[in-house]
Amino acid sequence: MKVHVANHPLIAHKLTVLRDERTDSPTFRRLVEELVTLLAYEATREIRTHTVELTTPVTRTKGLKMAEPRPVVVPILRAGLGMLEGMSKLMPNAEVGFLGMVRDEKTLKASTYANRLPEDLSGRHVFVLDPMLATGGTLIAAFHYLLDLGATEITAICILSAPEGVKAMENEFSGSKVPINIVTGALDEKLNEHGYIVPGLGDAGDRLYGVV
Ligand code: URA
């Protein structure tokens, strides 16, 4: 499993504003969108391409285009939805699927309550959008779901991650034949007793959309 922690002053700056409890929802949403576009740039670095020939106004040349089948972007509802716009900006021709997952606040176990995905993901690189990699429960359940559908490569894009969650993912997927990657804006200190990332940014869904 590959883990990439962003190391860029612009990402650090945006994360600092995002973490601040005084940052309001509209600003929070905009920053998440911007951060995802920056993280997606890194996450798509090894995306499959093929060579094409073309004519510029000056000469014949060769270039690269994204290979078929197209990648699939899967935001995990609800908070992952706030990341979709930023990802779509970078990769507008990707297909988009949805996975609704919720974690029980007592047991911290994740379960699926909705899904809208292609039936067969073979040959597809799936990009999973989930802002907070906390215990890893949600992403582990989501990744198994996608692997069962035949995904050929899976990359999670997370705004923040906790070491506990990254370790849980490593334990679960270190022997996976399918490449598994995590791209995250920062690796925080720890999880608290409620399963929140410390220092973190609080509940990402609530900060994006307000408390319901
Ligand atoms: N989910 C969140 O929204 N925040 C955390 O800190 C952990 C999980």
Yes or no: say if 83 and 131 are a contact pair by the CB < 8 Å rule. Answer: yes
Q: In a 3-state reduction of DSSP, which class is residue 187?
A: strand
SS3 call for 171: helix
Q: Is the entire prediction scored with pTM above 0.85? A: yes
Ligand 1 atom, smallest distance to 196 CA:
6
Output the six-digit token pair for 180: 């598994």
pLDDT recorded at residue 211? 76
- CA 53 – CA 62 distance, rounded (Å): 4
Q: Is 204 in the pocket of ligand 1 (CB under 6 A)?
A: yes
Q: What is the mean pLDDT of each run of 10 residues along the chain (212 residues)?
A: 96 98 97 98 95 98 96 96 96 95 78 90 97 96 95 98 98 96 98 96 95 72
95 C-alpha to ligand 1 centroid (Å): 27
Round to whole Å and give the CA distance between 84 and 44: 15
Task: Give the pLDDT of residue 107.
Answer: 79
Q: Which of 101, 109, 132 to mutate to test the pocket of ligand 1 (most atoms within 8 A of CB)?
A: 132
Tokens of 183: 């791209």
Using the Cα atoms of residue 178, residue 115, residue 85 and residue 140 in order, give the sign of their dihedral.
negative
CB of 196 closer than 6 A to ligand 1?
A: yes
200 ligand 1 Cβ < 6 A: yes
Half-sphere exposure of residue 96: CA atoms within 13 angstroms, side-chain side? 16
Question: Domain 2-209 is in which class?
Answer: alpha beta
Euclidean distance between CA atoms 126 and 151, whole angstroms: 7
Domain parsing of the chain, residue ranges: 2-209
Cα angle, residue 27 at apex, residues 6 and 45 outer, rounded to 5°:
25
Report residue 93: phi and psi, to 5°. -95, 5
Task: Please confirm whether the linkage preceding 179 is cis (ω < 30° from 0).
Answer: no
Give the pLDDT confidence score for residue 104 in this predicted structure.
78
Write the burial class of residue 35 (CB in 10 Å: 0-12 exposed, 13-18 middle, 19+ buried).
buried
Q: Which residue's entry shows tokens 């907070």?
A: 132
C-alpha 62 to ligand 1 mean position (Å): 45
Q: Are strands 125-129 and 72-77 parallel, antiparallel or unpaired?
A: parallel
